[in-house]
């Protein structure tokens, strides 16, 4: 236990070789390990200004927005800004052909017009603490992994319970450095979060999938929400009497802009990175997993794009699904290219050769065989990883949508089959399923789903090892003689789940007798075939092999820290609050190509193309450009739009505040440049750039485009 703490202390030592642009740093450790470096780069504040539990600090203006993005407070009246793509689901939920807020945008012109969003949350971090010793109390080297996890689980529960005792807070405890360190996070969760404003998709999603992950970028990727609280300024469910939340801190907004070399800091919740995986993992991702998943999603997107292009209603229904599908698809492509350019596998192998030489000479036997064990496990793990991922593409991740509706009955069946049936519980479960169906059918188009279902079944059979074919293929290749289209026609014709009325009626009248009918439904048979395969042949093996890799990860991580004890190690991202810092910087993506560090409104006008949906510039924005009605947001005859810097970011950092040396908001992080998306696995300072929306463009759009300048009155704007 003490040895682990000593290793961690050594791992955080600052060496002369540190690259300020790389790393996602723990806020409470900035004073000890990072602040001098930050100040040398130009930062003018203190570590206490960033994170403090004793006084208001920047952390009090940063939230987890929803379940996977970051947002920040920009006024003393609960006004929150995040990305347009983070608010996309909420915007879409209020959209219809009659009120198409995705296409036309939405702006509340007073508090009464703000729109409620059931289920949407904003989560503030109130404190964090290193609890490694408490979590690992009682853990010994002799324990099995199951025994170790049992002790950790028991200790963790006690720690969390004590931390939030007699409060309305919540607690999360997460491992760092693959289980060599643990931190406790105490949070405050607000559930009354209302939509205030969003630009039309022609601005908020300008460039669409074509420009996604790319630089230069001209996307006005922001949306505005407001957090409400009760009379005591505490979390409360929606109520008319709730008041705008008064935060402990909100970000002042700078109109001074950015220049090459300026200090930048991103503060937010990066999701997941894998900086310390062995070469075998990189090989698996680049040579097997990513290529396979890219092929699947290419076909999904071809089908979606065709139907969306032909029907405006389908375009709205599938807007969020398309964006979700496309996002990872394009990132996987860029990840392969970036890792190849870095010679990532070779670099990992060189490190492993040196590590093995050190381990062989070390007194600690547990490090001697870790790389050999990795190799053996990854050879088997890759097969199950691909199959598990493919099944997820089939029955989750916008796969066979209508078929999936048959899979909501487990809880209801369990209640109905009890000796004593609680009719109120049964009714509640039925109402829950019907509510899910109503939400589902609002954004569903059967012809699209039918074609995609046939495509997925065909691709699965062609690309996955025959031993992983579910039983349903016996039916397809027997009765239907391999004609998947004919089989899918039957499923969609005979299943009760492809029609909203019949599906809801089946749920409302569900009884014990209905169970037999459910099990005979062709959609249920299809879904259950994949689910049973996953349960019996895939998931258990996948989890078992993954568990072995996680144990090796913990050992290898501790070994690396001992081996390179003069190196700075930052923990992989795990959706906890982090700081990354760097500088505004142009870059050269390839030979003879030089990108500037900023873009302007001129680039938007240059890309204008009425024939391409993603490049249709709104008439009002073109008018503002033509008349040069830029107001105080004008710089050199135009308006700044986006900029790039060297901050190390990943998914989850969407919506993160980008602040200058004075802690003032200068941008909203929303993407990475395609050449650097491999930074989740290996960082390249020459290519990795985070893309941010210039806050001056945000203010310009709110003021001049939307006419919602009243919102600026509650902000603290530094000119």
pLDDT tens string 230-278: 999 999 999 999 999 999 999 999 999 999 999 999 999 999 999 999 9
Q: Is the pLDDT of residue 2 over 70?
A: no
The whole-angstrom separation of Cα 342 and Cα 651 is 21
Average pLDDT, integer, range 190-207: 97
Q: What are the tens digits of pLDDT across the range 161-176?
A: 999 999 999 999 999 9
Kindly give the pairing relationship between strand 181-190 and strand 106-107.
unpaired
- Biggest CA pair distance of the chain: 77
Neighbours of 213 (CB within 10 A): 21
Q: Are 95 and 154 in contact (CB under 8 A)?
A: no
Q: What is the pLDDT of residue 21?
A: 66
Place of tokens 């820290």: 561
Measuring CA to CA, which residue among 24, 194, 47 is closest to residue 577?
24
Measuring CA to CA, which residue among 241, 128, 125 is closest to residue 190?
125
Q: Is the pLDDT of residue 18 over 80?
A: no
Tokens coding 261: 């070399």
Q: Are 342 and 279 in contact (CB under 8 A)?
A: no
In degrees, to the nearest 5, what angle opens at C-alpha 319 toward C-alphas 316 and 321?
A: 130
Tokens coding 550: 């996680």
Q: Hey, CA dihedral for 417, 422, 423, 429, is it positive or negative?
A: negative
Rounded mean pLDDT of the chain?
94
Average pLDDT, integer, range 56-69: 97
Q: Is the pLDDT of residue 19 over 50?
A: no
DSSP assignment of 92-105: HHT--SSS-HHHH-
The whole-angstrom separation of Cα 364 and Cα 124 is 42
Indicate the pLDDT class of residue 13, thresholds 50, 70 and 90: very low
Give whole-number Cα distances, 685 to 152, 196, 676, 682, in Å.
37, 37, 9, 10
Kindly give the pairing relationship between strand 253-254 and strand 717-718.
parallel
Q: What is the pLDDT of residue 7?
A: 46
Measuring CA to CA, which residue among 618, 691, 545, 676 is closest to residue 273?
676
Q: What are the tens digits of pLDDT across the range 308-348?
A: 999 999 998 998 899 889 989 999 999 999 999 999 999 99
Q: What percent of the chain has pLDDT over 70?
A: 97
Q: Is the pLDDT of residue 531 over 70?
A: yes
Tokens coding 88: 């996309």
Tokens coding 158: 């006690």
In degrees, to the nearest 5, what angle opens at C-alpha 453 toward C-alphas 288 and 101?
A: 100
Average pLDDT, integer, range 640-645: 98
Active-site residue set: 85, 221, 654
Q: At what angle do helices 344-361 and 319-342 cross, to 10 degrees?
A: 60
Q: Is the pLDDT of residue 433 over 90?
A: yes
In 563-580, which positions are buried (b, 16+ CB within 10 angstroms) versus exposed (e)? bbeeebbbbbbbbbbbbb
Indicate the pLDDT class of residue 8, thresholds 50, 70 and 90: low
Tokens coding 606: 């240059």
Peptide bond into 216 cis (omega under 30): yes
Q: What are the tens digits of pLDDT across the range 90-124?
A: 999 998 888 899 999 999 999 999 999 999 999 99
* 3-class DSSP state of 637: coil
Q: Are 497 and 402 in contact (CB under 8 A)?
A: yes
Q: Are 22 and 683 in contact (CB under 8 A)?
A: yes
Q: Are 582 and 689 in contact (CB under 8 A)?
A: no
The whole-angstrom separation of Cα 582 and Cα 70 is 19
The whole-angstrom separation of Cα 398 and Cα 440 is 12
């Amino acid at each position: 236990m003490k040895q682990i703490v000593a290793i961690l202390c050594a791992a955080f030592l600052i060496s002369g070789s540190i690259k300020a642009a790389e790393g996602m740093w723990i806020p409470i450790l900035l004073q000890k390990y990072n602040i001098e470096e930050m100040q040398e780069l130009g930062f003018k504040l203190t570590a206490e200004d960033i994170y403090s539990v004793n006084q208001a600090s920047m952390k009090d203006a940063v939230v987890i927005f929803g379940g996977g993005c970051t947002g920040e407070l920009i006024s003393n009246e609960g006004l929150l800004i995040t990305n347009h793509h983070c608010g996309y689901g909420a915007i879409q939920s209020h959209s219809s052909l009659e009120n198409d807020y995705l296409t036309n945008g939405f702006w509340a012109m007073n508090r009464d017009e703000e729109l409620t969003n059931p289920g949407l949350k904003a989560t503030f971090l109130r404190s964090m603490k290193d609890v490694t010793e408490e979590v690992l109390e009682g853990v010994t080297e002799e324990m099995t992994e199951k025994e170790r996890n049992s002790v950790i689980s028991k200790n963790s529960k006690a720690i969390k319970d004590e931390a939030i005792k007699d409060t309305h807070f919540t607690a999360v405890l997460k491992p760092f450095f693959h289980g060599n360190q643990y931190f406790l996070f105490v949070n405050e969760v607000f559930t009354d979060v209302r939509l205030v404003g969003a630009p039309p998709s022609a601005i908020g999603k300008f460039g669409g999938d074509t420009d996604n992950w790319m630089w230069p970028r001209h996307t006005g990727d922001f949306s505005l929400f407001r957090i409400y609280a009760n009379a005591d300024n505490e979390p409360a469910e929606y109520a008319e009497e709730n008041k705008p939340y008064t935060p402990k801190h909100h970000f002042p907004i700078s109109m001074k802009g950015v220049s090459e070399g300026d200090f930048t800091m991103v503060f937010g919740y990066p999701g997941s990175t894998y900086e310390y995986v062995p070469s075998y993992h990189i090989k698996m991702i680049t040579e097997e997993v990513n290529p396979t998943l890219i092929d699947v999603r290419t076909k999904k997107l071809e089908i979606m794009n065709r139907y969306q292009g032909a029907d405006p209603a389908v375009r709205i229904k599938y807007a969020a699904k398309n964006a979700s599908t496309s996002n990872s698809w394009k990132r996987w492509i860029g990840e392969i290219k970036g890792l190849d350019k870095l010679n990532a596998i070779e670099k990992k192998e060189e490190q492993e050769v040196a590590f093995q030489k050190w381990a062989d000479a070390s007194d600690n036997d547990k490090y001697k065989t870790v790389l050999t064990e990795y190799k053996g496990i990854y050879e088997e793990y890759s097969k199950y990883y691909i199959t598990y991922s493919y099944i997820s593409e089939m029955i989750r991740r916008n796969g066979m949508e209508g078929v999936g509706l048959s899979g909501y009955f487990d809880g209801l069946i369990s209640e109905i089959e009890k000796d004593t049936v609680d009719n109120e519980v049964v009714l509640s479960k039925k109402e829950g399923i019907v509510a899910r169906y109503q939400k589902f059918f609002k954004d569903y188009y059967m012809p699209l789903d039918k074609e995609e279902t046939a495509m997925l079944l065909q691709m699965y059979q062609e690309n996955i090892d025959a031993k992983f074919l579910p039983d349903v293929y016996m039916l397809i290749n027997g009765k239907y003689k391999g004609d998947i289209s004919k089989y899918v026609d039957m499923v969609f014709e005979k299943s009760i789940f492809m029609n909203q009325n019949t599906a809801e009626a089946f749920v409302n009248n569900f009884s014990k007798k209905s169970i037999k009918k459910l099990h005979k439904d062709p959609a249920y048979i299809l879904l259950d075939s994949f689910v049973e395969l996953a349960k019996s042949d895939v998931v258990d093996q996948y989890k078992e092999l993954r568990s072995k890799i996680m144990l090796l990860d913990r050992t290898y991580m501790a070994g690396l820290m001992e081996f390179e004890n003069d190196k700075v190690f930052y923990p992989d991202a795990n959706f906890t609050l982090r700081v990354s810092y760097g500088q505004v910087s142009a870059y050269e993506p390839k030979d003879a190509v030089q990108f500037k560090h900023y873009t302007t409104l001129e680039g938007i006008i240059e890309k204008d193309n009425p024939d391409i949906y993603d490049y249709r510039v709104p008439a009002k924005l073109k008018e503002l450009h033509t008349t040069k009605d830029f107001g105080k947001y004008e710089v050199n005859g135009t308006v700044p739009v986006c900029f790039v810097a060297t901050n190390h970011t990943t998914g989850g950092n969407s919506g993160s505040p980008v602040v200058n040396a004075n802690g003032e908001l200068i941008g909203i992080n929303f993407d990475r440049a395609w050449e650097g998306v491999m930074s989740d696995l290996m960082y390249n300072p020459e290519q990795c750039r985070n893309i941010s929306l210039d806050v001056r463009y945000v203010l310009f759009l709110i003021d001049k485009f939307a006419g919602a300048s009243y919102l600026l009155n509650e902000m603290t704007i530094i000119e």
